[in-house]
Amino acid sequence: MVKISKVPIIVKEVGSGISYEVAKKLLNIGVKGIDVAGAGGTSWAGVELLRNKSNQKEFWDWGLPTSYCIKEIYPLKKKYNFTLIGSGGINSADDIAKAFALGADLIASARIILQTLMNDGEDAVIKLIVNWFEYLKKIMYLTGSQNIDQLKNDKLIKKEFLF
């Protein structure tokens, strides 16, 4: 399908994350985008358990965390031209900033936006997203980042506690 498609193909995981090895295989066949959709967002295994009225919880939180997937797959950008999308548990501007700093090109979020829409309406969703953008601007200012590319360049600091 990738070889015959006239449009770029993006592969999206559904809540379990994509490993470095899988990402490399996808890129080798010509995929142009990878949405890691790591554990931490909507658990589609959990959705299926609920849909089937199952009391089992074994695979509810199964998978690779989004931050791990982004960090592991980002180095492939040196060899391959593709878009890295960070999704799965993106619920705040802090999450967005961290995903960008780890190397994501784009960020996606669904659950919190849909919950806000259902609970508080369309205006609340607009307010949520505007607040994320405003907070992200502050993070960028505090890290000396004039754009997203600069936020990606060594802006993560390992926090050590000194007593």
Report residue 163's pLDDT band, with 50, 70 and 90 as the boundaries. Answer: low
Find where tokens 């989004």 sit.
66
Decide if pLDDT at 155 tops 70: no
> How do beta strands 33-35 and 10-12 pair?
parallel
Decide if pLDDT at 16 tops 60: yes
pLDDT at 48: 79
Residues forming a β-bridge with 34? 11, 84
pLDDT at 84: 98
Angle formed by the axes of helices 122-142 and 111-120, nearest 10°: 140
> What average pLDDT does the chain have?
89
Find where tokens 């953008």 sit.
133
| Diameter over CA atoms, the chain | 60
Q: Which residues contact 118 (CB under 8 A, 6 or more apart)?
A: none
pLDDT at 88: 92
Q: Residue ranges of the domains in the chain?
A: 10-152
CA distance 91 to 143: 21
pLDDT at 135: 96
Tell me what the mean pLDDT of segment 147-158 comes to.
75
Pick the CATH number of 10-152 from 3.40.50.20, 3.20.20.70, 1.10.940.10, 3.90.79.10: 3.20.20.70
Decide if pLDDT at 161 tops 70: no
pLDDT tens-place string over residues 107-141: 999 989 999 999 999 999 999 999 999 999 999 99
